[in-house]
């Protein structure tokens, strides 16, 4: 019985580690960036395709969601892109949650950024 459970665990481990291995390759804004002026959009590029229809992007300030962004379904397979309103100056976090194309595992992360006052 123990041997059978170990074999099942070995079969499931690669799928779980693959899903958890989704990584951000680049983002707009970049992590810890300071942006100013009107914003046109936010994007997150991953190292593999993600399920756009079941992925979300939120802009948070002080841990609270201030904007829910709706990713475009017709962007590149590994990119989430969403239009964004101009945000008031201050610190923010771009929170993303994606689902992989091969399973229903949700992976999420955050990208901190700051909106600087306009001059």
Q: Are 75 and 98 in contact (CB under 8 A)?
A: no
Mean pLDDT of 10-39: 71
> How does the average pLDDT of the chain come out, rounded?
81
Tokens linked to 45: 């590029």
pLDDT tens-place string over residues 67-110: 999 888 788 999 999 988 889 999 999 999 998 777 667 899 99
Domains of the chain, earliest start first: 2-115 (2.60.40.1220)
Spatial neighbors of 97 by CB under 8 A, at least 6 apart, are 55, 56, 57, 106, 107, 108
pLDDT score for 40: 73
pTM of this prediction exceeds 0.95: no
């Amino acid at each position: 019985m123990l041997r059978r459970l170990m074999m099942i665990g070995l079969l499931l481990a690669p799928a779980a580690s693959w899903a958890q291995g989704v990584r951000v390759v680049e983002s707009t804004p970049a992590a810890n960036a300071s942006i100013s002026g009107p914003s046109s959009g936010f994007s997150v590029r991953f190292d593999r395709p993600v399920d756009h229809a079941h992925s979300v992007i939120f802009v948070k300030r002080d841990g609270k969601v201030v904007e829910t962004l709706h990713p475009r379904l017709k962007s590149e397979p590994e990119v989430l892109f969403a239009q964004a309103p101009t945000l008031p100056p201050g610190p923010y976090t771009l929170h993303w949650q994606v689902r992989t194309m091969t399973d229903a595992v949700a992976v999420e992360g955050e990208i901190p950024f700051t909106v600087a006052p306009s001059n």
